[in-house]
């Protein structure tokens, strides 16, 4: 049986932990709202970009001079994985689930004899993956210290990916990130960036209308300008979903922690009161038996 004093200290320490976790939950909730609004605001551009790209890419994909961003390098040897994670922890399994999916992907590709390279976005993912794949990490991007994700950050990452493609450093690029399904559920997902996935089924329907579209300056130039932007948009979207998902996960994790701390306080208080009562009873018995002896 721990002493009364020890119990008291223990209760106080759990109480202050609870205060911290509940404050963190509140902060995460308000940041989540901001991140969600930002993610929603980015949707129209991404949707329209996709539509435009679909109408452009259909014709270009079959031509032999199609840019590698669209059709890839024609090989499948070197894979670049881009795991997007948060910069901080205390968010449950949020970061480790992306890391796990990345690890599984990398293992599978390597067992097929492919070469794997990684470009990590977010500090936590790098920290986790460094343990097993230190030699495969070719670059890292940290967003620590930034309050919100800007499109410029995504453009920077996209420019790096394009640069690596032009230098022939990889053939296929895959993005791994937590898709924001809801506040309490984030699903680790892999999306292929290069070669660009095309919405194949829609093309047949729009083909007739497409033929009449005019281009200025010309199809190829537009496509060459459009593709890096489309890539940046996809990265941007993943980063926004990652941000929103991170706060969602953190909120849930902190909510659980607050509840657990509450349970623990209840249990400790019960123990404390029992010990106090036992002490009082013991003292009474001592006094009474002392008085009887006189």
Partner 1 sequence: MRFELEIVSPEKLLLARQVDMVVLPAAEGELGVLVEHAPMIVMMRGGPIRLYEGEQVTDTLFVSGGFAEITPSRVTVLADEATPLAEVSRAEGERRLAAAQAAYEATDKLDVPALDRAMNRIQAAQAMIESAQAP
Span near partner 1 by CB under 8 A; candidates 38-46, 97-105, 137-145, 286-294: 38-46
Is 240 within 8 Å of 39 (Cβ atoms)? yes
In the complex, minimum distance from the CB of residue 28 to partner 1, in angstroms, rounded to a whole number? 23
Is 251 within 8 Å of 25 (Cβ atoms)? yes
Q: How many residues bind partner 1 (CB under 8 A)?
A: 30
Q: State which of residues 215, 259, 270, 281 lies at the interface with partner 1 (CB under 8 A).
A: 215
Is 63 a binding residue for partner 1 by CB under 8 A? The answer is no
Is 213 a binding residue for partner 1 by CB under 8 A? The answer is yes
Is 139 within 8 Å of 117 (Cβ atoms)? no
In residues, how long is the chain?
294
Between strands 115-121 and 185-194, the pairing is unpaired
Is 265 a binding residue for partner 1 by CB under 8 A? The answer is no
Q: State which of residues 17, 22, 27, 55 lies at the interface with partner 1 (CB under 8 A).
A: 55
Please give the full DSSP string across 253-280, using - where no structure is assigned.
HHHHHHHHHHHHHHHHHHHHHHHHHHHH
Is 41 a binding residue for partner 1 by CB under 8 A? The answer is yes
In the complex, minimum distance from the CB of residue 258 to partner 1, in angstroms, rounded to a whole number? 34
Is 54 a binding residue for partner 1 by CB under 8 A? The answer is no
- What are the phi and psi torsion angles at 213 (to 5°)? -65, 135
Q: Is 225 exposed, middle or buried (0-12, 13-18, 19+ CB in 10 A)?
A: exposed
Residues that bind partner 1 (CB under 8 A): 38, 41-42, 44-45, 48-49, 51-52, 55-56, 150-151, 154, 209, 212-217, 221-222, 224-226, 229, 232-233, 236
């Amino acid at each position: 049986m721990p002493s009364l004093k020890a119990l008291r200290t223990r209760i106080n320490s759990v109480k202050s932990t609870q205060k911290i976790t509940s404050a963190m939950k509140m902060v995460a909730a308000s940041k989540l709202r901001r991140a969600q609004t930002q993610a929603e605001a980015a949707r129209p551009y991404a949707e329209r970009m996709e539509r435009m790209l679909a109408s452009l890419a259909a014709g270009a994909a079959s031509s032999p001079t199609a840019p590698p961003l669209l059709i890839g390098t024609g090989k499948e040897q070197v894979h670049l994985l881009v795991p997007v994670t948060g910069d901080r922890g205390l968010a449950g399994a949020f970061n480790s689930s992306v890391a796990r999916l990345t690890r599984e992907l990398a293992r599978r590709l390597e067992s097929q004899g492919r070469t794997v390279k990684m470009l990590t976005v977010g500090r936590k993912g790098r920290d986790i993956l460094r343990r097993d794949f230190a030699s495969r990490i070719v670059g890292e991007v940290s967003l620590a210290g930034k309050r919100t994700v800007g499109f410029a950050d995504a453009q920077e990452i996209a420019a790096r990916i394009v640069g690596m493609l032009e230098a022939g450093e990889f053939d296929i690029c895959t993005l791994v990130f937590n898709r924001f399904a809801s506040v309490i559920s984030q699903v680790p997902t892999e999306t292929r960036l290069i070669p660009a996935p095309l919405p194949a089924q829609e093309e047949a329907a729009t083909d007739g209308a497409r033929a009449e579209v005019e281009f200025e300056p010309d199809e190829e130039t537009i496509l060459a300008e459009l593709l890096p932007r489309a890539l940046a948009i996809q990265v941007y979207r993943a980063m926004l979903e990652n941000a929103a998902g991170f706060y969602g996960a953190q909120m849930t994790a902190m909510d659980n922690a607050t509840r657990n701390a509450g349970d623990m306080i209840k249990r400790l208080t019960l123990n404390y009161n029992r010990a106090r009562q036992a002490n009082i009873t013991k003292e009474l018995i001592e006094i009474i038996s002392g008085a009887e002896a006189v």
